[in-house]
Copies of this chain bind each other. A is one copy, B any other.
Amino acid sequence: MAKEQAAPRKRSEGAGASPARRASDRGHYGRLSRERVLASALQLVDREGLSALSMRRLGAELGVEAMALYRYAASKDALLDGLVEALYLELEEQLAAGPEPGTTAVDARARASAWRAELHRIARATHEVCLAHPQVMPLLSTRMLAVPLARRPLAVLRHHERVLALLQGAGLDETRSVAVFRAFTGWVLGYVSVELQAMVDNPEESDPAFRLGLHRMPPQELPRLRETAATLAEQGGPGDLAAGLDALLDRFVRVEEEREPRQNRTGPDKPPTRDAQD
C-alpha cells in the first residue's frame, strides 16, 4: 500500500500516491503497483488457469511490457509466491470479517474449547477460499514444498503464527502443539486437495457416465471404482472437513493422557468428542 500523504522528501521513496493524483492520470508513470500486479495475476489465473500466466501475458493484461513486472516481483517464482500470499490475505480478511462474537454468557466448558471452535472457523474459511480459487490450489501445495519456511510470504507466516498461538494459548506444550499443528495443516490441505480433484472428463456430455469418462476405465479391473465414481465425483463439503478435524483434535490433544501405547487399536472406546460448539 502506498502512503496517503507524501511528505516532501529529497531522495528516493518514489513519489507516493499523494492524494491529488491518481495512477491513471499519469502518462505512463506509476501505472503499476504490487497490488495491481498480483490482483491481475490472480484474476488471470482464476479465469484461464495457471498455464496462462506468463510474464508477457500478464504484462499485456496490464498494458505494459513483460519486463516492467520485474520491479514488483523479482522472478516468476516470486510472482507465484505472491499469488499464494494473495490467497492468505483473502483468508485473513475473511477471518477478520466474521469473528463470531458469541457475546452471550458461555459456560466454562465452551470457553475452554473456544480455541477449538476457532480452528474450525479457520478450516472452514480455508476451504471456502480454496474453492473460490481452484486454479491456484496447486500452488499451495507446490510452493510449500519449494519455499523454506523462513522465506514464505508474510501472510503465510502470520497464518502459521495464528494457529500456533491458538494451540499454545490452549495450554498445549510445544511438542503437542506442533503435532496438532501438523495434523491440522495436513488435514485441511489434504481434504481440500481431494475436494478439488478433477473428476469430470468431458463437461459437454450430459450423460453422467460419459461426463466422467468411465468408458475409458477397464470394467473388469476396476469394478468398484466405476460404480462409485459418480458418488466420488460429488464434493464432501465442509461437513466432513469439520468431522475429520474434530476426530483429529480429539486424538492428538488427548495423547498426553494416555501417552504412548497407541498403535493399531480398533477399540470401541469413544472419544468424548463434541464439546466445541453448537
Residues of A that sit less than 8 Å from B by CB? 100, 109, 113, 116-117, 120-121, 123-124, 134, 137-138, 141-142, 144-151, 154, 157-158, 160-161, 164-165, 168, 174-175, 177-179, 181-183, 185-201, 212-218, 221-225, 227-229, 231-234, 236-240, 242-248, 250-252, 254-255, 257-258, 262-266, 268, 270-278
Determine the chain B residues whose CB is within 8 A of the CB of A271 once the complex forms.
239, 247, 250
- The reply to whether B217 and A246 contact each other, CB–CB distance below 8 Å, is no
Q: List 22 A-B contacts (CB under 8 A).
A: A100-B277, A141-B142, A149-B199, A149-B201, A149-B212, A151-B216, A161-B225, A165-B224, A174-B231, A178-B232, A179-B236, A186-B187, A186-B192, A239-B274, A240-B273, A244-B251, A246-B251, A246-B264, A247-B247, A258-B268, A276-B276, A277-B278
CB-CB nearest 8 A-B residue pairs: A190-B190, A150-B213, A239-B273, A247-B251, A186-B190, A120-B276, A242-B276, A186-B194
Q: How far is the CB of A193 from chain B (nearest CB, A)?
A: 6
Judge whether B266 and A182 touch: CB under 8 Å: no
Given contact pairs A100-B278, A240-B273, a sample of 6 additional A-B residue pairs in the complex whose CB atoms are under 8 Å apart: A142-B142, A150-B229, A160-B225, A185-B190, A190-B190, A277-B278
Total copies of the chain: 2
> Which residues of chain B come closer than 8 Å to A243, judged between CB atoms?
251-252, 255, 262, 272-274
Judge whether B236 and A161 touch: CB under 8 Å.
no
Q: Is the CB of B201 within 8 A of A148?
A: yes
**Cross-chain contact B264 with A212 (CB below 8 angstroms):** no
